[in-house]
């Protein structure tokens, strides 16, 4: 059965890959992001291929605007089947004692509080209907800290705990909850982390074939379409030569 899928952070990277993969699966999409123009471009791309799309331009850190946008959905779009909490980012790669206050605030407000806001807005309807699926995009960084990852790792550790807690809270319903944890994925993630330093960002992926957004989106689609009695609670996806968040074996270095 075709689903209504809401994806946050849908304008690039894993979020955009999820939009395209769920569209190919025949689902209806609610795409959110901060870049209204980019959302319109993606909507036109997918609509041309026969996908029904609604776009909502807001920052998940803005709880009031997020609430307004979700409440503005037409009646036929309100019964969201799958929520993909993908919006998130890493900023900086310094020792904790040299970190930026602004970077910390943005990561905590986006990766944790933004995810909580979307969960609070969407999941009550799922509980009322006794169906739905929440896929939170966590990270291998949430399993253990790595050098200079401190606050980012902490936010993704929080995503794991929040996801586990939600799964417990809805265990009396037919709702499923998944923590999807990517390892090294080549998107604009590193460029964002290094505040636009493209050369430094490119070095992250040298000597190893990283995952792509499509690789992670494939897993999300698989989880969402598993039989109703199957809940893929947590899945870690790493590049072949990545052993953990801190162990990456690079070739020809």
Catalytically active residues, by annotation: 152
Q: In whole angstroms, what is the distance from residue 84 CA to residue 135 CA?
A: 5
How many CA atoms lie less than 13 Å away from 207 in the CB half-sphere? 9
Q: Specify the 3-state DSSP secondary structure of 36.
A: helix
Catalogue the E-assigned strands of the chain. 4-7, 28-33, 53-57, 82-85, 133-137, 176-182, 234-237
The 10 Å CB-count burial string (b at 16+, else e) for 55-91 is bbbbbbbebeebeebbeebeeebeebbbbbbbbbbbb
Q: In whole angstroms, what is the distance from residue 123 CA to residue 116 CA?
A: 10
How far is C-alpha 222 from the geometric centre of its chain's CA atoms?
A: 15
Q: In whole angstroms, what is the distance from residue 37 CA to residue 87 CA?
A: 17
């Amino acid at each position: 059965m075709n689903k209504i899928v809401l994806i946050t952070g849908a304008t690039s990277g894993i979020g955009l890959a999820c939009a395209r993969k769920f569209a190919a699966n025949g689902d209806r999409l609610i795409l959110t992001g901060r870049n209204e123009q980019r959302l319109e471009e993606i909507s036109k791309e997918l609509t041309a291929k026969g996908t029904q799309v609604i776009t909502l331009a807001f920052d998940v850190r803005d709880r009031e605007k997020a609430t307004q946008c979700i409440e503005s959905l037409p009646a036929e779009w309100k019964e969201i089947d799958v929520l993909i909490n993908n919006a998130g980012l890493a900023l900086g790669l310094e020792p904790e004692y040299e970190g930026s206050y602004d970077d910390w605030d943005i990561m905590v407000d986006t990766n944790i509080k933004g995810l909580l806001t979307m969960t609070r807005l969407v999941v009550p309807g799922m509980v009322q209907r006794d169906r739905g699926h929440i896929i939170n995009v966590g990270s291998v960084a949430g399993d253990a800290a790595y050098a200079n990852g401190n606050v980012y790792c902490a936010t993704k550790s929080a995503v794991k705990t929040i996801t586990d807690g939600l799964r417990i809270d809805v265990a009396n319903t037919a709702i499923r909850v998944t923590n999807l944890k990517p390892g090294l994925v080549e998107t604009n993630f590193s460029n964002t982390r290094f505040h636009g330093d493209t050369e430094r960002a490119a070095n992250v992926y040298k000597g190893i074939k990283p995952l792509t957004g499509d690789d992670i989106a494939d897993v999300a689609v698989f989880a969402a379409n598993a039989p109703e009695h199957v809940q893929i609670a947590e899945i870690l996806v790493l590049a072949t030569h990545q052993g953990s968040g801190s162990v990456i074996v690079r070739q020809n270095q």
